[in-house]
Amino acid sequence: MPRPETAALISKYPARPFSYRRRTLHCDRTSLTALAAEHGTPLYVYSERHILGRLRLFQSAFAAVPHTVCFAVKANSSLALLKLLAAHRAGFDIVSGGELARVLRAARPAAKRTVFAGVGKQAPEIDAALSAGILLFNVESDSELDLIAARAQRAGIPARIALRVNPDVFASTHPYISTGLSAHKFGIDILAALALYRRAARSRWLIPTGISVHIGSQIREVEPFGAALARVRELIVQLKSDGVNLTHIDAGGGLGVEYEDLAFDPATAVRGYAAQILAATEGLGLHLLLEPGRFLVAQAGALLTTVLNVKQNGAKKFLITDAGMNDLIRPALYQAHHQILPVKQPAATQSNAPVDIVGPVCESGDFFARDRAFPAVKAGDLLAILDAGAYGMSLTSNYNTRPRPAEVLVTGAGHRLIRRRETHKDLFAPELP
Ligand SMILES: *Cc1c(COP(=O)(O)O)cnc(C)c1O
């Protein structure tokens, strides 16, 4: 029988803003029962205090050098969260024209702290980024470099560029979110980059400004980050002797969190990560860009859901919830583990039994946990799926014509709805029957 992971262990989760108070799970000082009563379920709940704490951890770990923390918008693209982060000096890492529009809507002045990555940038997206005055384009291929030059000429606005190099460094993570090997579609072969920088330097419309590297996501050993930058460093030195003087180095994102390990200490993780990056870039005199996504927001958020049904199928017991894979796809897509807690704290004497916690969507892949030791719950009870703040809401869909969940931000002053629940009318709006 696996270890129970509920009541007794919750006090060991300093990495999260969720804890039991008076036998009810709270986000900071706000009761999740109260939030569910006010806004219904499924409901994403985030802690403002926790997100700002993570941002500060990052900013203070790199305080010794000029740097900008550019939050990766795809991890959680809520306008309210972007606004919050921008107000605390964050910039942004975007991968589409839609994400650019979000940054402009949330915090127009943050455009100058925004970098644009992605292997399929299109002309209208490049045009919008040029006129918004973004910090730089992270260029992923030679043909894209030419496209950016052409659009810059057309707009009469020279484009600041960095080449995203592929360092061919292995980092252990799920294969869908690993990006730093030459077998992946991302980045430019580091050996080809030199010639491409020379080409950019000759163009009137391109300003070689930086160099960037991003080796993947949910990486928990810090050495690969240092190894990737060590390779980039060689190139910077070579460029300098060629007369190409860069001003920015972008170390990408990818620092992981522990979804399972109870002893995870985020401060230690950031310090180890910063030590690698600072050592590898020491003495270069470049402005450092960092692109954390998951690390800033994953553990600040939970998906709150109601148990609809407790169903026994032969030997197997299922808890069927009102949240489904369309609301949180990580378990189905990456076989990801999420801690799940009953909102009402179980008695210490209560024993656990294995259950599958599943959604109502018509797919067998629609599950949040399998064979999980869990205390007895009944229909109507609330569950909190932890560590859902990153790649949760941003990966939702309307599959099964299910409206997306609402989102609430718990703040120092209380809490506020930052996205209302979708209606059927919202879903039908683009259709032309
Ligand atoms: C996804 C992505 C990030 C953020 O990754 P996390 O694992 O969420 O930190 C940063 N930079 C680029 C280029 C990305 O594609």
The amino acid at residue 169 is V
Distance of CA 145 to the CA centre of its chain: 27
- 250 Cα: distance to centroid of ligand 1 (angstroms): 12
- 329 Cα: distance to centroid of ligand 1 (angstroms): 18
- What is the per-residue pLDDT across 364-411, written as a single tens digit (0 to 9) for each? 899 999 999 999 999 999 999 999 999 999 999 999 999 999 999 999
User: Token pair of 314, please?
Assistant: 């032969």
Angle (nearest 5°) at CA 237 between 284 and 234: 100
Task: Supply the pLDDT for residue 413.
Answer: 86
Atom of ligand 1 nearest to the CA of 292: 9
Alpha carbons 252 and 317: distance in angstroms, whole number: 43
- 21 Cα: distance to centroid of ligand 1 (angstroms): 35
Element holding 296 (H helix, E strand): helix 294-297
The yes-or-no verdict on residue 361 having pLDDT over 70 is yes
Give catalytic residues, as residue numbers: 362
The yes-or-no verdict on residue 9 having pLDDT over 60 is no
Q: Is the CB of 292 under 6 A from ligand 1?
A: yes
User: Token pair of 347, please?
Assistant: 């008695």
Element holding 332 (H helix, E strand): helix 330-334
- 252 Cα: distance to centroid of ligand 1 (angstroms): 6
The amino acid at residue 259 is Y
Atom of ligand 1 nearest to the CA of 75: 8
Task: Supply the pLDDT for residue 262.
Answer: 67
- 394 Cα: distance to centroid of ligand 1 (angstroms): 13
The residue to mutate among 57, 71, 74, having the most atoms of ligand 1 within 8 angstroms of its beta carbon, is: 74
Alpha carbons 145 and 187: distance in angstroms, whole number: 12
Q: Is the CB of 139 under 6 A from ligand 1?
A: no
Q: Is the CB of 253 under 6 A from ligand 1?
A: yes
- What is the per-residue pLDDT across 284-314, written as a single tens digit (0 to 9) for each? 999 999 999 999 999 999 999 999 999 999 9
- 346 Cα: distance to centroid of ligand 1 (angstroms): 37
Atom of ligand 1 nearest to the CA of 295: 9
Task: Supply the pLDDT for residue 169.
Answer: 81
Atom of ligand 1 nearest to the CA of 218: 7
Instruction: Find residue 93's DSSP bridge partners.
Output: 72, 115
Alpha carbons 289 and 266: distance in angstroms, whole number: 20
The residue to mutate among 68, 119, 177, 217, having the most atoms of ligand 1 within 8 angstroms of its beta carbon, is: 217
What backbone torsions phi and psi does residue 24 show, to the nearest 5 degrees?
A: -125, 135
The yes-or-no verdict on residue 170 having pLDDT over 80 is no
Q: Is the CB of 214 under 6 A from ligand 1?
A: yes
The CATH number of the domain covering residues in 117-292: 3.20.20.10
Of all residues in the chain, the percent with pLDDT exceeding 70 is 95
Which residue ranges make up each domain of the chain? 4-47+299-428, 117-292
The yes-or-no verdict on residue 128 having pLDDT over 50 is yes
The CATH class given to the 4-47+299-428 domain equals: mainly beta
Of all residues in the chain, the percent with pLDDT exceeding 90 is 87
Atom of ligand 1 nearest to the CA of 74: 1
- Please give the sequence-ordered ranges of beta strands (E in DSSP) within 275-401, or none if there are none: 287-290, 301-313, 316-321, 340-342, 352-358, 367-375, 382-385
The mean of the pLDDT values for the chain is 93
Helices (H), 27-155: 32-39, 48-61, 79-87, 97-107, 123-132, 142-155
Nearest C-alpha neighbor of 7 from the set 431, 371, 253, 373:
373
User: Token pair of 279, please?
Assistant: 């050592």
Task: Supply the pLDDT for residue 331.
Answer: 97
Q: Which long-range contacts (CB under 8 A, 24 or more apart) does 13-16 make?
A: 13/262, 13/386, 14/265, 15/257, 15/258, 15/264, 15/265, 15/266, 15/299, 16/50, 16/299, 16/300, 16/386, 16/387
The verdict on pTM exceeding 0.75 is: yes
Mean pLDDT over residues 94-122, rounded?
Answer: 97
Alpha carbons 299 and 258: distance in angstroms, whole number: 9
Q: How far is CA 47 from CA 18, 106, 189, 326, 413, in A?
A: 9, 18, 40, 23, 12
